[in-house]
Amino acid sequence: MKGIIAQLNKAFESRIRLGIMSVLIVNDEVDFTRLKELLDVSDGNLASHVSALEKANYVQVKKQFIGKKPNTTYKVTRQGKKAFDDHLTALENLLKNK
């Protein structure tokens, strides 16, 4: 059982990071406001968790202006998708080995 636990990705231990990745896996791209609403978190909390995922190269951040309003969108990277898929597989294996 110890080997299965070691396969879990520490980057996804936080429920917020797990939520971010879950939303991004099923959507091509999500903007800051929508992600914040879905996860019911503060601006700063979301920004810090996204930053950690971005540093791990799991999330790509795109900042632009639409008219005069700033717009930030997020999408999962190939590396992020693989890491998340591996994490989910490890969770499934953990559940199967009760």
Determine the pLDDT at residue 66. Answer: 86
Determine the pLDDT at residue 98. Answer: 56
Can you give the residue ranges of every domain in the chain? Answer: 2-92
First to last CA, the chain: 9
The CATH label, of 3.40.30.10, 1.10.10.10, 3.30.70.2740, 3.40.50.300, for the domain at 2-92 is: 1.10.10.10
Average pLDDT for consecutive 10-residue bins of the chain (98 residues)? 79 95 96 96 96 97 91 97 95 84
Identify any residues that bridge with 89 across adjacent strands, giving them in sequence order: none
Q: Helices in 1-98 by DSSP H: which ranges?
A: 2-6, 15-26, 32-39, 43-55, 78-96
Contacts of 41 (CB under 8 A, 6+ apart): 16, 49
Determine the pLDDT at residue 82. Answer: 97
Determine the pLDDT at residue 54. Answer: 97
Biggest CA pair distance of the chain = 54
**In which residue are the tokens 């309003």 written?**
69
CA 26 from chain center: how many Å? 11
What tokens were used for 92?
């499934």
CA gap 49, 12 in Å, rounded:
10
